[in-house]
Amino acid sequence: MKRLSVFIAAFASVFLLAACGDGGNSNSSSSKNSSSSETQLTGQSDSDYYQSVIKNGHYLTSKSRGVNVQQDSNQLNLKSFEAGLMNISKKQFSTSKYVFQEGQYVSTDTAEKWLGRKTKSNPEGLNPAGKATKTPLYLQQMDEQDFLTQDGNSLKMSGMTIGLGINSIYYYQKQAYGATYQMKLSDAEIKAQGKKMASEVLARLRKNKALKNIPIVIALYKQAPDDSLVGGNFFAYSVNNGSSTSVSNWKSINAQNYVFPVASGQKGPSNNSDENDFSNFKTQVQNFFPNLSGVTAQAQYINGSLTGMNVNITTQFYSQTEIISFTQYLQSTASKYLPTGIPIDITVGSTTGVQSFLSRDTNEKNFTFHIFNSY
């Protein structure tokens, strides 16, 4: 008996789903009480983003929430991993058809076991058995994203994306609280280990009845070193339809992240014209304003072309009027010097936090800006 049907629409406010509608009670106040059967969606204002699931008035958080935060020394790997995984999901699961749900199938307990080393007491560990000083831990973080579709008057699990974050450098100690040693892992090793683990993960997930016949995307991410100012990058993914229990079909992703200015001894992009553009911008800006303590950028390349940039400017500003003038100056200078045709964010921060930011989307000509105010 349908009482309310599910709308998965753009430009929507908060929607209500009554999974187990009480046929005898047509009172609309049910939209306000938190009965155990209530599922809502967050609403979607922008087709770039998924709607997501609210259960009983609360946001449905991930079952393995927080595990990755503990796992990653470099928080940039975390943000880059999660955002990048969502971009891969969007290729397979359109934001207009699917509702996003934080991972509900891999629990904290399971995630911790899988991320651990294989031992007698942890037979489920995906990292190879061996001594900490000899055998690296490859798998550093994992993330599950669920995708739901409308099925009558409820939501149905219809797709999943799993990300596996593989170390590029293995950090270890020879004794507790001792010095930290590094073991650099080759790209071939990272790739081989990631693919092996992906098949194992797929086989394990397929044992769950709900996941037996849905497409499961598995994506492999190479973690950036702990001291990197930019996160790592995805390098391969596979779409596993139907009931496949082992991954056979990999697609590569040719993505690189760089930090501008490129530090001496570090590898920069093969074409250095973007870096030159940034360098001219940086010189211009630093010449303009005293007390700029840093002008850096994260630059992302896909298939060898620049696809986006996050510029970070840190400074000790003395006044709100300086922030206003500086932001206006940045608006014209960024348009003049920075590469065009890509999305660019510029954040101006001081010791007391973000002071202003500017942003330009791919197809926009001008930067819009916002200056953070306080009464």
**End-to-end CA, the chain:** 53
What are the φ and ψ backbone dihedral angles of 306, each rounded to 5 degrees?
-65, 125
Compare residues 69 and 203 and give the one whose CB is closer to a second copy.
69
User: Smallest distance from the beta carbon of 202 to a second copy, in angstroms?
Assistant: 22
Compare residues 56 and 182 and give the one whose CB is closer to a second copy.
56
User: Smallest distance from the beta carbon of 162 to a second copy, in angstroms?
Assistant: 14
Please tell me whether residue 371 adopts helix, strand or coil conformation. Answer: strand
User: Smallest distance from the beta carbon of 157 to a second copy, in angstroms?
Assistant: 17
Q: Which of residues 61-100 bind a second copy (CB under 8 A)?
A: 61-62, 65-66, 68-69, 75-76, 78-80, 82-83, 86, 100
User: Smallest distance from the beta carbon of 360 to a second copy, in angstroms?
Assistant: 12
Please identify which residue in 120, 319, 363, 365 interacts with a second copy, judged by CB under 8 A: 319
User: Smallest distance from the beta carbon of 265 to a second copy, in angstroms?
Assistant: 21
Q: Which of residues 343-362 bind a second copy (CB under 8 A)?
A: 345, 347, 349, 352-354, 357, 359
CA distances (Å), 253 to each of 208, 220, 264, in order?
29, 9, 27
Q: Minimal CA–CA distance to 275: which of 290, 297, 293? A: 297
Is the distance from CB of 16 to CB of 32 less than 8 angstroms? no
Is the distance from CB of 42 to CB of 14 less than 8 angstroms? yes
User: Which pair of tokens denotes residue 286?
Assistant: 């630093």
Half-sphere exposure of 16 (CA within 13 A, CB side): 19
User: Smallest distance from the beta carbon of 234 to a second copy, in angstroms?
Assistant: 11
Q: Minimal CA–CA distance to 343: which of 371, 312, 364? A: 364
Q: Which of residues 102-141 bind a second copy (CB under 8 A)?
A: 102
Taking residues 198 to 237 in sequence order and writing x for each that binds a second copy by CB under 8 A, - otherwise, the string is --------------------------------xx------
Compare residues 189 and 345 and give the one whose CB is closer to a second copy.
345
57 binds a second copy (CB under 8 A): yes
Q: Which of residues 160-179 bind a second copy (CB under 8 A)?
A: none
Compare residues 194 and 231 and give the one whose CB is closer to a second copy.
231
User: Smallest distance from the beta carbon of 50 to a second copy, in angstroms?
Assistant: 8
Integer-rounded Cα Rg, in Å, for the chain is 24
145 binds a second copy (CB under 8 A): yes
142 binds a second copy (CB under 8 A): no
Compare residues 52 and 193 and give the one whose CB is closer to a second copy.
52
Write the DSSP assignment of 80-141 as a string of letters. HHHHHHHHHHHHHS-TTT-EEEE--SS-HHHHHHHHSB--SS-TT--BPPS-TTTS---EEE
Q: What is the DSSP letter of 339?
A: P
296 binds a second copy (CB under 8 A): no
Compare residues 20 and 302 and give the one whose CB is closer to a second copy.
302
Q: Minimal CA–CA distance to 17: which of 45, 47, 51, 48? A: 51
- Which own/partner contact pairs does 93-96 have at CB distance under 8 Å and 24+ positions apart? 93/147, 93/158, 93/159, 93/161, 95/44, 95/47, 95/48, 95/49, 95/50, 96/8, 96/10, 96/47
Please identify which residue in 171, 172, 250, 289 interacts with a second copy, judged by CB under 8 A: 289
User: Which pair of tokens denotes residue 266?
Assistant: 């570090």
- Mark the segment that binds a second copy (CB under 8 A) among 43-51, 148-156, 192-200, 239-247: 43-51
User: Smallest distance from the beta carbon of 57 to a second copy, in angstroms?
Assistant: 6
7 binds a second copy (CB under 8 A): no
User: Smallest distance from the beta carbon of 115 to a second copy, in angstroms?
Assistant: 15
Q: Name the residue with tokens 């060898």.
A: 304
